[in-house]
Amino acid sequence: MSLLLIAKNRDMNPWKEALLRIDANLDIEVWPRVENKDRVTFAVCWNHPKKVLDGYPNLKAVTSLGAGVDHLLKDVAIPKSVKLARVMIPSLKTQMGEYVLNAIQNYRFYTARYVDQKREAYWSKHNPVPKEDCTVGIMGLGEIGSAVAEWLLVNGYEVNGWSRSKKNIGGVQCFDDSGLDEFLSRTNILVCLLPLTKETSGILELDVFKKLKPPAFLINVARGTHLVEEDLIYALDTKVLQGACLDVFEEEPLPANHLFWNRPNIMITPHTASITDPEEAAELIVENYKRSLSGIELLNEVDRELGY
């Protein structure tokens, strides 16, 4: 039996080496050079080509390289009988907490504006946005969302949280589906960490932005499809939002002619808020590979109905 690594535009050899350090006896194939499809029982995928998993008759399980699994759920080439899993490791939570905190601090202290002023050799001071005008609302309180909430609490921010079912996190005012409007009315800085599902696609739209407590700012570190792009542009033009920090986009890489590039009040990063470390993830992947061979439940197994 063998394990298959598949990713577009990414060198998977470091992943192969990390897995072999955990178990030197593993038989590992790296796409696109797959010698024997019949032997593959487990695949590790990220941004994989459509239908690339056609023709693997003995596939038992597929894991994402990261926390997101929408790319697996929408792949019709993966049979319903195949188990799905995701990678959830401590460093993903830490990195995301650091990224979101940094985005908030950049907004509060006008970092982007000062970068522009330096380019123009223009000296002008701006008063920081007061912390009391920076109540953070996190949409999505899974493992990463909950960790980000706790990270922000430690750094002195007031935090609200919203999720499909109500959670209990010390120090965080939590809301469920029915409390969305109240959650938004208490929130200045909206952070999206939701899984991408049919229900959450397009959730970041104008009506939501208008319900935020001004001054309002958006941080999207979930998926680009959560955001209605034209609504963001309108919200910025009409001062419904003061700005946005976007790490994810509907089309990646973001096209060079996209409107977002020319917006000084949109901070853009290339899907780097939280990156999976091969060395840290290898043990989890090997464990799930062995579990799939034994037919037992995977760690971080995905519920196809829920979408996460």
Helices of type H across 128-254: 143-154, 180-185, 206-210, 229-237
Does the active-site annotation cover 223?
Answer: yes
Token output for 216: 């309002």
Mean pLDDT to the nearest integer, 83-100: 98
124 close to 143: Cβ distance less than 8 angstroms:
no
Q: Letter for the amino acid at 238?
A: T
- Going along the chain from its start, the domains and CATH numbers come out as 2-89+276-294 (3.40.50.720), 90-268 (3.40.50.720)
User: How far is C-alpha 139 from the geometric centre of its chain's CA atoms?
Assistant: 12
DSSP state of 204: B
Mean pLDDT to the nearest integer, 278-290: 98
Q: What is the 3-state secondary structure (H, E, C) of 97-156?
A: HHHHHHHHHHHHCCHHHHHHHHHCCCCCCCCCCCHHHCCEEEECCCHHHHHHHHHHHHCC
Query: How many Å apart are CA 286 and CA 62, to the nearest integer?
Result: 12
214-251 burial: b if 16+ Cβ within 10 Å, else e? ebbbbbbbbbbbbbbbebbbebbeeebbbbbbbbbbee
Token output for 170: 């010390």
pLDDT in tens, 178-228: 999 999 999 999 999 999 999 999 999 999 999 999 999 999 999 999 999
- Radius of gyration of the chain from Cα atoms? 21
Does the active-site annotation cover 291?
Answer: no
Query: How many Å apart are CA 233 and CA 116, to the nearest integer?
Result: 20
The residue annotated as part of the active site, out of 223, 226, 258, 291, is: 223
Q: pLDDT-based confidence at 52, cuts 50/70/90? A: very high
The residue annotated as part of the active site, out of 48, 86, 226, 271, is: 271
Mean pLDDT to the nearest integer, 103-111: 98
Residue 161 has pLDDT above 90, yes or no: yes
Q: pLDDT-based confidence at 9, cuts 50/70/90? A: confident
Residue of 254, 242, 287 lying closest to 103 (CA atoms): 242
